[in-house]
A and B are shown apart, each in its own frame.
Chain A
Amino acid sequence: MSDKTTIIVQSGDMDKIYSTLIVSNGALAMGMETSLFFTFWGLLRLKKGGLEKGPLSKMNFLGLGKIMMLKRMKKSNVVSLERLMADFKELGGKIIACEMTMDIMGLKREDLREELIDEYGAVGTYIQEARNSAITLFI
């Protein structure tokens, strides 16, 4: 069995980016390789200043719900997405940005946080990663 996790990050919702990075960091911490394929709304979170900008997937209430959720998360000592991302990169996590989404959304490489991105690719890149993975998720 391969020791690799591959996740398609399609949603840009804050709570789903949390799920992605928590699962990824757990996988890295437990010795697996981990690749994240950012596509569609997920890719917007790789824009400069974009990581923490996602709405809550439910009960966002024009951002009020998100503020309340962030308060409760802080009270429970949940760390920020920036911290989770820094840990992800420090533990050797790999990030792939979807080039077709970049075309659709009119995003250039310089609009994205290039220092986080290891590779720019399309579906073939994802399949090559996923076919060798014991865990694959679509978030």
Chain B
Amino acid sequence: MEIHVDVRGETCPVPLVEMRKAVRKAEQGDIIEITGDNPASKKEIPMAADALSLKVVSIDENEKVWKIKILK
């Protein structure tokens, strides 16, 4: 299953927190896609995924909006 989390317009620490909430609710094998525009979070969500031993599947950016996909 793919879970979508939209944190556009949100700033620190909400993107990280919403990512974590989604990861907690997800099942093993689910993909969590986070969409946001906070520049710091684009760096920090992969850091958090690493700390949680989750795989970052992809990171894309277009017109300052980024999408990060994480595999649980």
Binding site for B on A (CB under 8 A): 22, 25-26, 28-31, 76-79, 84, 87, 90-91
Contacts and interface: CB of A to CB of B under 8 A. Distances in A.
Interface string B19-42: 111001000000000000000000
A115 to B, nearest CB: 19
Interface string B38-61: 000000000110011000000000
B13 A29 contact: yes
A84 B10 CA distance: 13
Interface residues of B, number: 16
18 contacts: A22-B13, A25-B16, A25-B17, A26-B13, A28-B17, A28-B20, A29-B13, A29-B17, A29-B48, A30-B48, A77-B9, A77-B11, A78-B11, A84-B13, A87-B17, A90-B21, A91-B17, A91-B20
B21 A31 contact: no
Closest 8 CB pairs of A and B: A29-B20, A29-B16, A30-B51, A25-B13, A31-B52, A30-B48, A87-B17, A77-B11
Contacts of B52: 30-31
Interface of B is mostly: helix
Nearest to A3: B51
Nearest to B45: A29
Given A31-B52, A91-B21, A26 B9 contact: no
Contacts of A76: 11
Given A30-B52, A31-B51, A31-B52, A79 B20 contact: no
